[in-house]
Structure 1
C-alpha cells in the first residue's frame, strides 16, 4: 500500500467526512466552524492517489480542558473531523495521519493536541498516547464523546 499524506483544502475533506462522520445528513454538515481560518490545517491520506483519510487541526481559542489552560492559544491545536473510510480502517491510515500531524504541529511550536473523541474511537486514541480528561458527554445527533489530549 502506497500511503502519502499531504495538505488539502477543507472542501477536499468532505468525501471522507460525509460517509464516516455525517452519514445520512446533508453534505453542508461537513463544513466545520474554523475550517477556513488561515491557522487551520487539513491533511489528506492518499492510498494509490485516492483520498482515504482526513483530519483537520484548528488553533483553538476556547480550550476548556483544565490540563491545557497553562498553554497559550498558539501552542494548542484541536483535532476535528478525523476520519478514515470504513473499508480502509485497520490499515494504519489513522495512525499515520495522527503521527504526521503531531510532527507538523511540533514544527509549528504546538505543545498540545486535544479533541472531542467519539466513544467508538477512544481506544484508537489511547493506543496513540492520548488520555481522557472528561466524563462522557453527549453531542446532539452524533453521540457519546470524551475530551482527550496529549502533550506534544
Structure 2
C-alpha cells in the first residue's frame, strides 16, 4: 500500500513534473503558465512516499467559448492547466485520484464547472472521468492537437 498525499504546492514546485511530462526538451521557463501566481490559482501535488509524482493547476477562468454552454459567474468556473503525472508512475490511478480530489475541493469552493484544453492523448482519460469534448480539434504550437473539454461540478 502506497503512502499517498495530495496537498497544495507553489507554482515553482510544479516545474519538476511539468518539465519532463509537458515541456520535455524545452527551456524550464516554459513551465511557467500565465496566471500561475494569482491568489485565486490553486496548485496541487500528489506525493507518494513523500516524493512529488503529479501536479495540476486550477485557474479561475471563464472561457468565452464555454460561456455559450453555461451561464456562470467568473469565480464559478475554473480551468485545469498543467496536469501531469511522472511517466514512471503513470497507470497507477494517481491522475484519477488527483482529479477526484480537485473536483471535491472546487465543489467546496462553490465552483460549478471545470474546463481545460486536453491533449489528444489524454481525451480518453478525461472522458472516463465524465468530461465531454466541446470543441473541434485544434493545434497548440509546439505542443500538439488538443480538444476543449468541460464538466459541470
Please indicate the TM-score interval, normalised by the length of the shorter structure. over 0.9
Match of 1:28 in 2: 29
Distance in 1 between residues matched to 2:55 and 2:44, nearest whole Å: 6
Out of 67, 82, 85, the position equivalent to 2:69 is 67
TM-score of the superposition, structure 1-length normalised?
0.97
Distance in 2 between residues matched to 1:144 and 1:53, nearest whole Å: 22
By how many angstroms is 1:92 displaced? 0.5
Q: Unpaired segments of 5 or more residues in structure 2?
A: none
Match of 1:127 in 2: 128
Distance in 2 between residues matched to 1:38 and 1:61, nearest whole Å: 16
By how many angstroms is 1:2 displaced? 1.5
TM-score of the superposition, structure 2-length normalised?
0.97
By how many angstroms is 1:108 displaced? 0.4
Distance in 2 between residues matched to 1:126 and 1:111, nearest whole Å: 18
By how many angstroms is 1:67 displaced? 1.4
Distance in 2 between residues matched to 1:21 and 1:62, nearest whole Å: 22
> Aligned pair count?
151
Distance in 2 between residues matched to 1:71 and 1:89, nearest whole Å: 34
Distance in 2 between residues matched to 1:80 and 1:22, nearest whole Å: 13
Aligned-residue Cα RMSD (Å) equals 0.8
By how many angstroms is 1:64 displaced? 2.0
